[in-house]
Amino acid sequence: MPATTFDDEIRAALAERRAALRALLESHADETERIRSDRDAEYDDEHDLEGSTLSAGWQLLDGLQRKELREIAEVDAALARLADGSYGICAGCGEPIPRDRLRARPAATRCVACASRTR
């Protein structure tokens, strides 16, 4: 059955994406931890620990981790839609999202036309 094959393909792509995101998230969390412990080592009472001492590097890592967590949530939502049968339906117009788009962006919730309208 071709539909099953496509679902399997998407499920595999989502699982792969999820694993890659988890790995990125983990390495960024490690880096954050390293910055934190470096900072703690330099910490003295005259510095505001939570305020101005947050480094640019930490803020960058924090932003990356937020983005990765958001993407993991999108992947999980796509897997849930696959499980309940609502996968591949555009959230904007209710039409099926073309398979080429889903292959390129397995977590997409809108067709190209609707996605470009909301941007």
| Positions that interact with Zn ion (CB under 5 A) | 90, 92-93, 111, 114
Dihedral of the CA atoms 28, 33, 39, 44 (nearest 10)? Answer: 150
- Find out whether 87 and 9 touch, Cβ atoms under 8 Å: no
At 101 the three-state DSSP class reads helix
Question: To the nearest whole angstrom, how small is the minimum distance from the Cβ of residue 118 to Zn ion?
Answer: 10
Q: Of 61 and 90, which has the nearer Cβ to Zn ion? A: 90
Question: To the nearest whole angstrom, how small is the minimum distance from the Cβ of residue 75 to Zn ion?
Answer: 20
Q: Of 69 and 93, which has the nearer Cβ to Zn ion? A: 93
Question: To the nearest whole angstrom, how small is the minimum distance from the Cβ of residue 99 to Zn ion?
Answer: 14
Q: Of 68 and 74, which has the nearer Cβ to Zn ion? A: 74
Contacts for 82 with CB less than 8 Å, ≥ 6 apart: 7, 10, 11, 14
